[in-house]
A and B are shown apart, each in its own frame.
Chain A
Amino acid sequence: AQSVTQLDSQVPVFEEAPVELRCNYSSSVSVYLFWYVQYPNQGLQLLLKYLSGSTLVKGINGFEAEFNKSQTSFHLRKPSVHISDTAEYFCAVSNPGGSYIPTFGRGTSLIVHP
């Protein structure tokens, strides 16, 4: 079975500051990893995904994430956030060739203050 832990339920940060949203996963096999963003009253939108290859993945809106197999982590980072980045962020994991249904974390609410 696979699981995802997003350690922080809420992350407040000031505009133009850097941010890191943490994600750890548990899986006994290889993984695909995803970060999604959800703006209020909207569906989820993919920010970035790791399937294979380079462990540093760049996504939309200036976000990036690094796959660390030894630490089973896939933390999301942005060097300088904007007010418009205020949203809920979800990490998800799926298993290639196995349980292809992604498992989502509980989400991290990023709150950007002016």
Chain B
Amino acid sequence: NAGVMQNPRHLVRRRGQEARLRCSPMKGHSHVYWYRQLPEEGLKFMVYLQKENIIDESGMPKERFSAEFPKEGPSILRIQQVVRGDSAAYFCASSPRREGNEQFFGPGTRLTVL
């Protein structure tokens, strides 16, 4: 059973470009969470999705950021018109149920905005 997969592992973008980060949850997991990690900081929750639905996006910036988890295929975190402040590690986690369960994390995508 493969773990959570994220790609790309490293992504370099120039200011103003778009960044697309992909996450394939573990088999059988229908709950996906996205987090952002900045140097010297913990993980900050961004968005929680279940298949085809956004359940909680309270941690997502109101502009330029969006997320989806379609019926088929990976979850996508999309950042439009990236700025230098978007440079961070973005982690995806999945779980089989909503409550009381550990989250299984992917290796992360390290986004660098030039």
- What residues of chain A have their CB less than 8 Å away from a CB belonging to chain B? 4, 9, 32, 34, 36, 41-46, 49, 51, 90, 94, 96-97, 100-107
Interface centre among B44, B99, B104 (most CB of A within 10 A): B99
B13-31 vs A, CB cutoff 8 Å, 1 = contact: the mask equals: 0000000000000000000
Complex interface: chain B residues within 8 A of A49 (CB):
102
Partner of A90, one of B33, B42, B104, B108: B42
| CB proximity to A under 8 Å, residues B48-91 | 48, 56, 91
Chain B interface residue count, Cβ-Cβ cutoff 8 angstroms: 24
Query: Is B7 an interface residue when CB atoms closer than 8 A count as contact?
Result: no
CA A111 to CA B91, docked complex, whole Å: 23
- What residues of chain B have their CB less than 8 Å away from a CB belonging to chain A? 4, 6, 33, 35, 40-45, 48, 56, 91, 93, 98-100, 102-108
Q: Is the CB of A34 within 8 A of B102?
A: yes
